[in-house]
Amino acid sequence: MGGINKFEVKKHLRALKQVKTWQLMLILLLLLFISATLLRFDHIKMTDLKAEVAVADESGDAEAISTALNNLKEFTFSHTIINVVEKNGKQYVTFGTGPIYLQHEYERAATAALKEAEEKAATDGNPNGNVFAKAMDVCKPQAIANGWAWNSQGYLDCMTGEINKYPTTDRIEDTYVASLPSTALFRYDFASPIWTPTLSGFVSVLCIILIVVILTKVLIWGVLRLALFFLKK
């Protein structure tokens, strides 16, 4: 064994035994609990900030919406946020807020755009009159009954279907579809760094270091025990 004898091996084994593995495991469990708690607090704070965005969106105050979004973005960018989001019926773990939709802001923008399109249609000399108003008279009750939003496929299909019932309305339908704002303009998804220099970040680093120490200790102990087995008495 290259000059190594069993007495030296036993000496190293005794040195390793002075630091008990179970003690390191207890410390690791404590640090893991603290890390999970701190990450949970960060997640709760992020959830509260998302709720503020929703309140601002409902209020219609553009300044309040901008402030709430900036507060959420700054917090998410400076903290590690572990989140579970649902996509296509499946749940995924991600770092960040997950998708945020300004539904009320979109509905306000869509309503304004449709109103403008209706006003244009009412004065364009169409012999069928304001087909938008007629279509909405049919589709609005269906939207309320089915819980359709302005951007839902059911509502869009209903409106375009009703408009198509009137002749010479191709240009009007195009105007209607073009008037609707893109939903992408009202969708946000702030990503979080995997690690940030926060209290939870530093505790997580300590956990990783301690895991490495435990695994190294177990590996060295195993190598020394194997060496002692092969050494001659």
The pLDDT value given to residue 204: 92
Same domain, 196 and 92: yes
Same domain, 40 and 68: yes
Q: What global pTM score does this model have?
A: 0.66
Same domain, 87 and 34: yes
Q: Which domain holds residue 217?
A: 6-99+189-230
Same domain, 125 and 94: no
The pLDDT value given to residue 35: 93
**Identity (one letter) of the amino acid at 232?**
K
The dihedrals phi and psi of 128, each to the nearest 5 degrees, come to: -90, 5
The pLDDT value given to residue 63: 93
Helices (H), 2-130: 6-18, 21-59, 62-78, 103-122
Same domain, 10 and 87: yes
The C-alpha atoms of residue 167 and residue 4 are separated, in whole angstroms, by 98
Give me the number of domains the chain comprises. 2
Residue 129 lies in a domain: yes
Same domain, 53 and 122: no
pLDDT tens digits, one per residue of 161-213:
877 776 654 444 455 555 667 778 889 999 999 999 999 999 999 999 989 98
Mean pLDDT of the chain: 79
Same domain, 42 and 143: no
Residue 14 lies in a domain: yes
How many other CB atoms sit within 10 Å of the CB of residue 105? 18
How many other CB atoms sit within 10 Å of the CB of residue 224? 19
Residue 70 lies in a domain: yes
Closest to 192 (Cα-Cα) out of 93, 101, 94, 66? 94
Closest to 137 (Cα-Cα) out of 116, 113, 163? 163
Same domain, 128 and 213: no
The pLDDT value given to residue 109: 83
Closest to 123 (Cα-Cα) out of 83, 161, 73, 172? 172
Same domain, 27 and 90: yes
Question: In Å, how far from its chain's centre is CA 25?
Answer: 33
Q: Which residues of the chain have pLDDT under 50?
A: 1-2, 169-173
Same domain, 193 and 213: yes
Same domain, 78 and 13: yes
Same domain, 132 and 202: no
